[in-house]
Amino acid sequence: MTARASAELPAPFFDFAMSVLFVFVALFMLSTMDTPRPPQAGVLTPKAEFLIELTWDDGSASDVDLYARGPDGKVVYFGSRRTEVMFLDQDNTGNGNGGVADRREIVTVRAIEPGDYKFNVHAYRLSGPVSVKLRVLKLNPYAVVAERTVTLDTQGQERTLAAMTVRADGSVEAFEANVKMVGK
Residue 44 forms part of a structural domain:
no
Both 63 and 152 in a single domain? Answer: yes
Both 90 and 161 in a single domain? Answer: yes
Q: Measured between alpha carbons, how far is 19 from 51 in angstroms, rounded to an integer?
A: 53
Written in H, E and C, the secondary structure of the chain is: CCHHHHHHCHHHHHHHHHHHHHHHHHHHHHHHCCCCCCCCCCCCCCCCCEEEEEEECCCCCCEEEEEEECCCCCEEECCECECCCEEEEECCCHHHHCCCCCEEEEEEECCCCCEEEEEEEEEEECCCCEEEEEEEEEECCEEEEEEEEEEECCCCCEEEEEEEEECCCCCEEECCCCCCCCCC
Both 92 and 27 in a single domain? Answer: no
Q: Tell me what percent of the residues of the chain surpass a pLDDT of 70.
A: 81
Number of domains in the chain: 2
Residue 102 forms part of a structural domain:
yes
Both 101 and 167 in a single domain? Answer: yes
How many Cβ atoms from other residues are within 10 Å of residue 174's Cβ? 16
Residue 41 forms part of a structural domain:
no
Cis, peptide link before residue 10, omega less than 30° from 0: no
Both 103 and 146 in a single domain? Answer: yes
Residue 184 forms part of a structural domain:
no
Higher pLDDT: 112 or 9? It is: 112
Both 84 and 163 in a single domain? Answer: yes
Residue 45 forms part of a structural domain:
no
Q: Which residues contact 105 (CB under 8 A, 6 or more apart)?
A: 53, 54, 64, 65, 66, 88, 90, 91, 92
Residue 159 forms part of a structural domain:
yes
Both 72 and 148 in a single domain? Answer: yes
In this prediction the pTM is 0.71
Residue 37 forms part of a structural domain:
no
Answer yes or no: are the C-beta atoms of 130 and 121 closer than 8 Å.
no
Answer yes or no: are the C-beta atoms of 162 and 67 closer than 8 Å.
no
Both 99 and 15 in a single domain? Answer: no
Both 95 and 128 in a single domain? Answer: yes
Both 101 and 54 in a single domain? Answer: yes
* pLDDT tens profile 36-48: 666 566 554 568 8
Residue 181 forms part of a structural domain:
no
Q: Measured between alpha carbons, how far is 167 from 115 in angstroms, rounded to an integer?
A: 7
* pLDDT tens profile 20-36: 888 878 777 777 776 56
Q: Which domain holds residue 165?
A: 50-174
Both 12 and 56 in a single domain? Answer: no
* pLDDT tens profile 93-132: 766 555 566 788 899 999 999 999 999 999 998 888 999 9
Both 83 and 163 in a single domain? Answer: yes
| CATH number of the domain residue 157 falls in | 2.60.60.30
Q: Measured between alpha carbons, how far is 62 from 56 in angstroms, rounded to an integer?
A: 9
Chain-centroid distance of CA 50 in Å reads: 8
